[in-house]
Each structure stands twice: as C-alpha cells, then as structure tokens.
Amino acid sequence: MPKYLSAVLAVLVLAAGCAPEPNEVVVYSARAEQLIQPLFERYMAQTGAVVTWATDKEGPLMQRLISEGEQTPADLFLTVDAGNLWLAAEQGLLQQAQSAVLNRNVPAHLHDEAGRWFGLSVRARTIIYSTDRVDPSQLSTYAALGDAAWQGRLCLRTSKKVYNQSLVAMMIAEHGEEKTEQIVRRWVANLAAPVYSSDTKVIEAIVAGQCDVGIVNTYYFGRLQKKDPAIPIALFWPNQQGSGVHVNVSGAGIVKFADNRPGALKLLEWLSSETAQAEFAALNLEYPVNESVPSDPLVAAWGDFNQNLINVSRAGELQSRAVQLMDRAGYR
Amino acid sequence: MSGVVGSLPRSGYLAESRYWSAIAFLVALPTLASLIIVVLSLLHPDTEILGHLLRHVLPRVTVNTILLVAGVAMLAGLIGVGLGWLTAMYHFPGSRFFSWALLLPMAMPGYVMAFVAIGFLEYSGPVQTLLRSWAGAEVWFPPIRSRGGIIVVMALALYPYIYLLARNAFLTQGRQALEVGQSLGLTRRQGFFRVALPMARPWIAGGLMLVVMETLADFGTVSVFNYDTFTTAIYQSWFSLFSISSALQLAFFLLLLVFVAVALEYRWRGRTAYITSLSPGAGVVTLTGAGRWVAFGSALLVLLLAFVLPCLQLLAWSIRNGQIDARFLDSGLRTLSLATISALMIAAVAIILVYALRNAGNVARLAGRIATLGYALPGTVLAVGIYTQISGLNGFLNSSLESLTGASPKFFLQGTVLAMLLAYLVRFLAVAYQAVDAAMQRVTVRIDESARSLGVGGWQLLRRVHVPLLRGGLLTALLLVFVDVMKEMPITLMTRPFGWDTFAVRVYEMTAEGQWEQAALPALSIVLTGLIPVIILTRASSHAVATR
C-alpha cells in the first residue's frame, strides 16, 4: 500500500480518538442520566476507578453495540425493562457473569437464568384509583378492569410503551393468548379517553375527573405525590389472591466484547450491594432489588404486596406476541 | 486559429459535464446506499411479522399518514400562501411587523408545539379545567388529541416554509403579475388566482414539498399525539417486534409515498416562467375598512397560536421548573456549534449539487433527485443506514491499518462528529437544495452564455457570477438548515459522540418520561436560539428589498 495512505490512516486514528484507559469502565445506559450519575460519582470517589457513560434510548444503544461488535468501547449495558435486557442477551450482546455476590443480592426471578443480566431495581406496575369516586373494595385484578362496571372510567397509557407490552406479555404467560386478547379488548371498550403518551398523563386525567381508574408504574405516582401529598389518588395492589402484582426491573449486564470485564463486574456487584441499592432505587422512587435494603419512606408507606414470581425474562420472550395481540385488539 | 478556439470550449464543456456528473453521484452516494439497504431488506421478509403488519397495521397507518399529509399540506398551504400574499401586496395595521414576525414559528419544533398544545388544551389542562369550573363538568370541548388536533398543530409549525417562499415570489413578481392581470381586464382578486398564483407555483411547490417531507418523516410530533403513522410503525416493528427487516420493509412503503409526492410535485410545478424583477414593494395597496381588520386579525391569530401562546406557556413552565446549570450551558454550546457547522457544510454541498446538475446531463439529474430524498426518510432509519456504512468503512480502515502496521488499532468513526454530520447532510440536503435551486432558477441560461462568451466558466462562473446572484437563496438555505439541525432529534440521539448533549436531547430525555414541564427550558432555548437566524434573515431580506 502506498505510503501516503498509512499517513492518512494515522491521522484518522488521532482524529478519531484513542482506546479507553485500562481501568476505565464504559457504560451504555438507557436509564436516564440524572438517575445514574450520583451513583457513578460515589463509586468513583470510593474506589478510584473511572466510569464514563453514554445515555440514549435502548434501541439505538443496542444497535450501536451490534454495529460496533468487537470494537465496542462499552463494558456494561444498563437499561430499563426486562424485555430490553432479554433482547440484548438474545442478540448475543451480553456475556455471563458468574458471581456469588450477584446471585445472593438479586432474587432468582429478577435475573437471567444464565447470568447474562441482573435486575437492579424493581418497578411495580399497578392499579391506581380516584379516592373521591372509587371504593377500593370494587377492585380486584388487572383483568377485572375489563368489567362492565368500569365502562367509560378507565384510562391507559399507549401500547407502544414497553411497560404495557411487558404487562400483557406476563398476562399471556398466565392466562394464555386467547383469554388475554379478550381482556385487552374489554379494556379498550372501557376507555374513557384515547390512550395517553405517559403514565403521568394517566394520573392527571384521573385527578381531573376524566376517568376513575388506570394502570401505572408506582414511581410516577410517587413523583406526583411528592409534589402534592394531598393528591386524591391511591394505589391498589391487584391479583393478591393469585399471581401477584406485575413487576419489572431496570438492570444491567456485562457487554460481550467488554475490554474491562473485571471492572464491569465489580461495578455491577457494587450496584447490587447494600451500599448502592437504597440510593439506586430511591433516586427514582423504585423498589430495591436487594431484599435486605429498605425502600424509601414514601415508597414504604404504600404497603407491602405479593409480586408475580414468574421470571421477568418471560416478558421479553412474549413481547412480540403481546404487541401483535394489542394491535389485533385495537389497543393503540 | 478561430477554428481551434471554436472547438476548445465544446470539448472542454463535455469533459466538465462528466466531471460534474461524478460530483452529483458522489453527493448522492450516502443516500443511495441507505436506500439500497432498505430495498435489500425486501429479500429477507420476516414472514410472520410482515403478515401481521400487512393485515393489522399497514392499512391503518397508510390511511392515517395520507390524511395527515394532505391535511397539513392544505392547511399550511392556505396559511402560508394567504399570509404571504397579504404581507407582500397590502398595507394593513402592523403589516410591516407581521411580514417578519410570521416567520418566528419556524424556530418552534413541532414536537414542542405538540406537548404545549396538549398540556394546555386537554381535559386536565388549564383551559378545560377553567371551562368546567364555569360551565359544569359536562361542557363540550373539541378533543385536542385527535386527527384534527395534530393537523392544526403541524400546520402551524410548518406553514413558515411555504410563507417564506411564497412571499418571496410575490414580492419579486406580484406587481408584474397584477399589471399583466389588469392589462387583461382582471380584478385584483382574479389577478391573484389567475396570474400571480400560477407564476409563484415553483416556489409554493418547493415550500409544500418541504412541508410534505417534514410530515412524512416526523416522529416527535406524532409520538406526542400517539397518532400512528409509518414512522411510528417502523419504530414499533424495530424496537417492539424486534424485526429490523420488517421495519425496513415498512420504510420501503413509506418511500413509495415519497415517490408519489415527488411525482405529484413535479407535475404540479409545471412549466416555469421567470421574469426579471423590477422594483418590489411598488404596487402595494393600502387596505381600508373591514378588510384591514380582517387582514390584521388573521395574521395576529396565526402569530398568537403558532408562537406567542406556546412561548408564554414554555416560559411559565421554565420559571417554575427550569434549572440553569453547567450542563445546560454545555448543551447550549454544543447545539449552537453543531447547527452552525452543519449549516455551512450543507449549504456548500447544496451549491455544488445545484451547480453540478446545471452543468451535467439528464442522468445526473437522477442523482440530484436521490440526493434530496433523505429528507423524507425517518431519522431513525437514516441514522441506521449511515451508521451501518460508517462502521463498515471503519472496519475496513482498522483492518487495513492492522495489515499495514501489524498493530491492532481500535478507533471509531461511528459515534464521532463525522458520522453525525454525514447523517445531517443526507437528511437536510433537500432543504438547502430547494432554497439554492429556487434562486438558481432565476439565473438564466443567457447569463451563463454571456459569461462563457467572456471566457468565464467552471468554478469562476460559480464564484464570480452565480454566488453573488444566489446570496438570498444561500442565506435562506443556511437559516433553514441551522434551525432544522437544532430541532433534529433521532439522528442526534443515535449518532452523537460520548457526552454530547444538545437541547433536543435534553427535551427528549424529559418528554420520554412525561416530565413536560421540565422539558420547557431546553425547549424554550431551542426556540430562542432559532430566533437569531430568523431575525438575521428577515433583516437581510428587508435590507435587500430596500436597497434594490
């Protein structure tokens, strides 16, 4: 090859930036920056390790991991929703982490059976109701929100949000596809307004009186409750006689082509430890995945509940079927 | 001697033509490669998913997309052409103010206007809450989260593209048009419909084309409205059904719609006639009686709805929830520098492309069409197309460097500014091209011929004759690209380098979680920054009009 070409290439190397330092841990995170930055800063101060991160949506981040392949600078992939973690593992983007610490800190149904990813915080998706217009004794299960009693009183978020896809996927795991489709059709028939783009809007619609019940992740309610403790809304824990409340996780796994595997594992173990768990969950008013760590007082005040113990990775396996089911049922 | 001189320019011209064709195809290459990636996906259909999409999704999104595009184009066209004619040809209270103020909404991204409109007007918003407290719980209000709602919001966000171009046409041709009309015994109104409007057709068609392409590629606004179109279906297939091939196949159907739009525009634009402008501004009529207040009222209404009210709402939210910290300032700096660099680069490429097409044959024209198609590709699809190309190039460079030096280097072109700028170029070249091309249409072949006869050709012709004549068009191109890059979301999210936050990224992070009030400050910053070039442009164009 001609000499000048190597000169051009050398310049390109300089222009494009060099490989990361050896003890640096590079994190790709779909969890929002303000929810991870304080923890990473604490970890750096405590251990002297260097953590750098890029935040983005999970889809583009995974696409980036795929196209970077072996050249990727990423060591740890952090995202929300078990469906996304399952997909990353399925696409071969993550590697197994054999760690007694992680197996002890993270309950079995909240991590990949093969150890490719581990949940770090629990998010419960539950029923909320207007304390002005609903007697909680009328509530029982997710499926019962399709009953005629809730005609024109139900508000839901769009089916495009992965939280609802996971919820319906777990319902398929429990009831089978046919029965789940009936339930979803009845939900759609009960809607008081077109589906909303966010959980917060669902809660606001109930406060405003447009509808009486809805399904949201608890931390969205927590944020509003923090602002207005007198908000006329309460949480209801459904399916307590049966399968339990639908839970999901945010979590992380070590990237298949990580340069700094030990560093990534150390950070992951630290994130699941007592030291980090309280803050990791409390920053977003979620539940710690580590059962020895107490919840934030605001969260603890909502009471205990039985959670669905089916492994959350089922949400990922069944997600495509759940999306198609919701398309058929007219749940937009 | 004279024989030699006579033959030289001709062979030189042919060589030059081939050279320009090559440049045109080079410019079209990244777009062409992205299109090929889309078309190749048809070879590997994901049968189960595609069957589901064809049955349950495609019919609905096709109808939704067509109705949305048609509605937005008609409403934005009506507002843009109507106000362009009013401000170019009439004096009425505030007409001078409105002539530039009506461009201000250009700085307002559609997705920002969408979340403000919904926050303001939906059931739990302040307007309806107030109405209910006056008139009881059963008071009826038009639902904002509906097809009508999104059409109005997008038309208000996009009409300035048409207004800008149509007004420009009316300013330079309106008087002649009316004079021609009068000589044929037409009234002023007939003159508008039968002479001025047809003469302004290339400009209006250019503006409409921008609006149609923006609408087809929009992801942010339709997401906020939860209105299903091709872009949301593509996104859903990709990230929820985990099927990139079905996403690309949907993208192919979207491209078919784009081709239909391009063909329609080509037919409608029709044969163009151009005349040299005399003194614009003359022939302006002062409105009297009710007419002046109708004109004033309609201009004010559009300005209020499309700009003033959304800004006030953003301001109120920002004061309540805004936080100016180091990170905010940093993202501001990045936003500005990115938009500036991209605008300069893309405008330069647009001139080269316009010029190449002018000097090259018919085959190169195809390259021009392809190069400007990127505007109608959804940002997400485009980002992946570009990303795939860049990482392929990167792998090639890495392996050749390894075989050259023996070392195994690791460097990344993906996730650098280079990848981002290339994606912006593909996405926004059409914007700059339309503006430069419209101006170039006025540089007649006769001007070229006289320049050539004086021995001025090639780059010289471009630099010494065309660029000065193109100044207005260039300025428009710079402005439009600057504002577009600043507002752009999916490409920025996907290809930005580590730690590169822009205002649009900040808005995205907040709105994704429904924290619309926290999104207000970065959104307001986008709007305010976008105002700077809008004001520069309006001042420059009024200056040009005044001194001509």
Please tell me whether residues A109 and A19 are part of one structural domain.
yes
Q: Which residue has the tokens 């250009």?
A: B106
CA dihedral B405, B406, B408, B412 (to 10 degrees): 20
Please tell me if residue B147 touches chain A, with a CB cutoff of 8 Å: no
Q: Considering only CB atoms, which chain B residues are within 8 Å of A199?
A: 514
Residue A305 within any structural domain of the chain: no
Please tell me whether residues A61 and A140 are part of one structural domain.
no
pLDDT given at position B44 = 78
Say what angle helices B362-371 and B326-359 make with each other, to 10 degrees.
170
Please indicate whether, in this complex, the C-beta atoms of B499 and A54 are within 8 angstroms of each other: yes
Please tell me whether residues A234 and A153 are part of one structural domain.
yes
Instruction: Indicate which of B227, B240, B331 best probes the interface with A, i.e. most A CBs within 10 Å of its own CB.
Output: B240
CA atoms of A16 and B411, how far apart (whole Å): 6
CA atoms of B433 and B349, how far apart (whole Å): 9
- The SS3 call for residue A307 is strand
Under 8 Å between Cβ of B484 and B107: no
Give pLDDT tens digits for A273-282: 999 999 999 9
pLDDT given at position A68 = 78
Please tell me whether residues B31 and B76 are part of one structural domain.
no
pLDDT given at position A114 = 94
Which amino acid does the sequence have at B71?
A: G
Please indicate whether, in this complex, the C-beta atoms of A56 and B493 are within 8 angstroms of each other: yes
B33-36 long-range contacts, Cβ below 8 Å, gap at least 24? B33/B385, B33/B389, B34/B374, B34/B377, B34/B381, B34/B382, B34/B385, B34/B386, B34/B389, B34/B426, B35/B255, B35/B370, B35/B373, B35/B385
**Minimal Cβ distance to A12: which of B128, B241, B397:** B397
Please tell me whether residues B63 and B110 are part of one structural domain.
yes
Buried b (16+ CB within 10 A) or exposed e, B206-217: bbbbbbbbbbbb
**Minimal Cβ distance to B509: which of A5, A32, A327:** A32
Q: Smallest CA–CA separation between B171 and chain A, in Å?
A: 43
DSSP designation for A157: B
CA atoms of A169 and A315, how far apart (whole Å): 5
The count of structural domains within chain B is: 2
CA atoms of A26 and A29, how far apart (whole Å): 10
> For chain A, how many residues are written?
332
Q: Considering only CB atoms, which chain B residues are within 8 Å of A191?
A: none
Q: Considering only CB atoms, which chain B residues are within 8 Å of A52?
A: 498-499
N-terminal to C-terminal alpha carbon distance within chain A: 57
Please tell me if residue B388 touches chain A, with a CB cutoff of 8 Å: yes
Residue B518 within any structural domain of the chain: no
Instruction: Tell me the residues of chain B between 395 and 414 that have a Cβ less than 8 Å away from chain A.
Output: 395, 397-398, 400-401, 404-405, 409-414
Which amino acid does the sequence have at A160?
A: K
Q: Smallest CA–CA separation between B464 and chain A, in Å?
A: 34
What are B156's two structure tokens?
């208000």
Averaged pLDDT for residues A243-266: 96
Please tell me whether residues A159 and A217 are part of one structural domain.
yes
What are B404's two structure tokens?
């050259």
Q: Considering only CB atoms, which chain B residues are within 8 Å of A160?
A: 226, 232, 236, 240
Please tell me whether residues A150 and A13 are part of one structural domain.
no
Residue B545 within any structural domain of the chain: yes
Q: Smallest CA–CA separation between B307 and chain A, in Å?
A: 24
The count of structural domains within chain A is: 2
Please tell me if residue B223 touches chain A, with a CB cutoff of 8 Å: yes
Backbone dihedral region for residue B177 (phi beyond 0: left; psi -120 to 50: alpha; all else: beta): alpha
Q: Smallest CA–CA separation between A187 and chain B, in Å?
A: 18
Please indicate whether, in this complex, the C-beta atoms of A323 and B240 are within 8 angstroms of each other: yes
Q: Smallest CA–CA separation between B160 and chain A, in Å?
A: 28
CA atoms of A139 and A149, how far apart (whole Å): 10
Please indicate whether, in this complex, the C-beta atoms of A59 and B239 are within 8 angstroms of each other: yes
Closest to A65 (Cα-Cα) out of A15, A30, A17: A30
Q: Which residue has the tokens 């949940």?
A: A119
Please tell me whether residues A82 and A161 are part of one structural domain.
no
Please indicate whether, in this complex, the C-beta atoms of A16 and B416 are within 8 angstroms of each other: yes
CA atoms of A72 and B425, how far apart (whole Å): 25
Which portions of chain B are predicted below pLDDT 50? 1-11, 278, 545-548
Please tell me whether residues A202 and A317 are part of one structural domain.
yes
**Minimal Cβ distance to B56: which of A87, A319, A328:** A328
Please tell me whether residues B234 and B223 are part of one structural domain.
yes
**Minimal Cβ distance to B224: which of A16, A165, A197:** A197
CA atoms of A298 and B95, how far apart (whole Å): 57
**Minimal Cβ distance to A6: which of B146, B242, B404:** B404
Residue A155 within any structural domain of the chain: yes
Please indicate whether, in this complex, the C-beta atoms of B410 and A324 are within 8 angstroms of each other: no
Please tell me whether residues B469 and B539 are part of one structural domain.
no
Residue A277's CATH number: 3.40.190.10
Please indicate whether, in this complex, the C-beta atoms of B56 and A327 are within 8 angstroms of each other: yes
Please tell me whether residues A321 and A213 are part of one structural domain.
yes
Please tell me whether residues B161 and B288 are part of one structural domain.
yes
Q: Considering only CB atoms, which chain A residues are within 8 Å of B413?
A: 12, 16
Please indicate whether, in this complex, the C-beta atoms of B410 and A9 are within 8 angstroms of each other: no
Please tell me whether residues A117 and A127 are part of one structural domain.
no
What are B146's two structure tokens?
């509906």
pLDDT at A17 over 70: no
Closest to A30 (Cα-Cα) out of A96, A71, A76, A72: A76
In order of A45, A197, B115, B128, B154, the CA distances from B226 in angstroms are 43, 6, 11, 20, 14
Residue A307 within any structural domain of the chain: no
In sequence order, the 6+-apart residues with CB closer than 8 A to the CB of B142 are: B148, B149
Under 8 Å between Cβ of B50 and A324: no
Closest to B435 (Cα-Cα) out of B405, B470, B482, B410: B470
B93-99 long-range contacts, Cβ below 8 Å, gap at least 24? B93/B292, B93/B293, B93/B296, B94/B296, B94/B299, B94/B300, B95/B295, B95/B299, B98/B299, B98/B300, B98/B303, B99/B167, B99/B538, B99/B542
Residue B140 within any structural domain of the chain: yes
Q: Considering only CB atoms, which chain A residues are within 8 Å of B387?
A: 63-64, 67
pLDDT given at position B513 = 66
Instruction: Indicate which of B242, B246, B400 best probes the interface with A, i.e. most A CBs within 10 Å of its own CB.
Output: B242
Under 8 Å between Cβ of A168 and A142: no
What are B28's two structure tokens?
């079209």
Phi and psi, residue A209, nearest 5°: 95, 10
Please tell me if residue B494 touches chain A, with a CB cutoff of 8 Å: yes
Please tell me whether residues B256 and B349 are part of one structural domain.
no
Please tell me whether residues B91 and B224 are part of one structural domain.
yes
Please tell me if residue B439 touches chain A, with a CB cutoff of 8 Å: no
Please tell me whether residues B31 and B176 are part of one structural domain.
no
Q: Considering only CB atoms, which chain A residues are within 8 Å of B56?
A: 324, 327-328
Residue B401's CATH number: 1.10.3720.10
**Minimal Cβ distance to B57: which of A13, A15, A327:** A327
What are B159's two structure tokens?
């009409």
Better pLDDT: B363 or A284: A284
Please tell me whether residues A116 and A21 are part of one structural domain.
yes
**Minimal Cβ distance to A194: which of B137, B226, B243:** B226
Please indicate whether, in this complex, the C-beta atoms of A195 and B223 are within 8 angstroms of each other: no
Instruction: Indicate which of B118, B223, B399, B410 best probes the interface with A, i.e. most A CBs within 10 Å of its own CB.
Output: B410
- The SS3 call for residue B270 is coil
Please tell me whether residues B305 and B394 are part of one structural domain.
no
Q: Smallest CA–CA separation between A98 and chain B, in Å?
A: 28
Tally Cβ neighbours within 10 Å of residue B36: 11
pLDDT given at position A37 = 92
Tally Cβ neighbours within 10 Å of residue B22: 14
pLDDT given at position B259 = 83
Q: Smallest CA–CA separation between A100 and chain B, in Å?
A: 32
Q: Considering only CB atoms, which chain A residues are within 8 Å of B145?
A: 193-194
N-terminal to C-terminal alpha carbon distance within chain B: 43
Please tell me whether residues B377 and B450 are part of one structural domain.
yes
Residue A205 within any structural domain of the chain: yes
B310 class by beta-carbon count within 10 Å (0-12 exposed, 13-18 middle, 19+ buried) = buried
Please tell me whether residues B162 and B239 are part of one structural domain.
yes
Please tell me whether residues A155 and A202 are part of one structural domain.
yes
CA atoms of B469 and B188, how far apart (whole Å): 31
Residue B354: which H helix or E strand, with range? helix B326-359
Residue A302 within any structural domain of the chain: no
Under 8 Å between Cβ of B351 and B467: yes
Residue B494: which H helix or E strand, with range? helix B490-495
Q: Considering only CB atoms, which chain A residues are within 8 Å of B57?
A: 327
Residue B50 within any structural domain of the chain: no
Residue A304 within any structural domain of the chain: no
In sequence order, the 6+-apart residues with CB closer than 8 A to the CB of B310 are: B108, B112, B113, B116, B117
Question: In which domain, by residue range, is B328 found?
Answer: 8-45+323-512
B387-395 long-range contacts, Cβ below 8 Å, gap at least 24? B387/A63, B387/A64, B387/A67, B387/B414, B387/B419, B387/B423, B387/B494, B387/B495, B388/A67, B388/B37, B389/B30, B389/B33, B389/B34, B390/B414, B390/B418, B390/B419, B390/B422, B391/A67, B391/A68, B391/A69, B394/A71, B395/A71
In sequence order, the 6+-apart residues with CB closer than 8 A to the CB of B175 are: B278, B279, B280, B282, B283
- Residue-by-residue DSSP string for A1-51: --HHHHHHHHHHHHHH-PPPPTTEEEEEE-S-HHHHHHHHHHHHHHH--EE
What are B406's two structure tokens?
């023996």
Question: In which domain, by residue range, is A98 found?
Answer: 3-122+248-294
Q: Chain A residue with minimal CA distance to B396?
A: A9
What are B14's two structure tokens?
């042919």
What are B303's two structure tokens?
């300005």
Instruction: Tell me the residues of chain B between 100 and 139 that have a Cβ less than 8 Å away from chain A.
Output: 122-124, 128-129, 137
